[in-house]
Amino acid sequence: QVQLVESGGGLVQAGGSLRLSCAASGRTFSSCAMGWFRQAPGKEREFVAAISRTSNTYYADSVKGRFTISRDNAQNTVYLQMNSLKPEDTAVYYCAAVLTGNWWYASIEPAEYDYWGQGTQVTVSS
């Protein structure tokens, strides 16, 4: 079982930055691939970024070059650094985890993740 708690959301002006954190419970964090997803009002949950056990990273085209995902296995935490924020980045951001034997791959599909945090709101004003 993995429990996830996100933090770091808030209100920021367009062009600003935020760093989201996701703290994981338990001793299995290093065995998890991790992902960030977001959901805006009236829209489906969409992929943002993912990181494998060996820190291979994957990004949605809409955030590539602006967002950076990273992980700290010693702290059981995954981060999402968000720069050059745009109003269209406004959403609830969710952290997700899946226990996996694959060291190098992290999925971009939400259905492949077993554990989810409660979400943190990010609002970008124009």
Query: Do residues 116 and 96 make contact, with C-beta atoms less than 8 angstroms apart?
Result: yes
pLDDT tens for residues 41-56?
Answer: 999 999 999 999 999 9
Compute the half-sphere exposure of residue 60: CA atoms within 13 Å on the CB side of its CA: 18
Give the tens place of pLDDT for each residue, 79-107: 999 999 999 999 999 999 999 999 999 99
- The residue behind tokens 């964090």 is 29
SS3 115: strand
- Quote the pLDDT of residue 1: 84
Taking the C-alpha atoms of residue 61 and residue 83, their distance in angstroms, rounded to an integer, is: 15
Main-chain phi, psi angles of 18, to 5 degrees: -145, 155
d(CA 39, CA 92): 5
pLDDT at 116: 97
Structure-token pair, residue 91: 């959403």
Burial of 16 (0-12, 13-18, 19+ CB in 10 A): middle
User: Does residue 8 come out as left (phi exceeding 0), alpha (psi in the -120 to 50 range) or beta?
Assistant: left
Q: Is 14:82 a contact under the CB 8 Å cutoff?
A: no
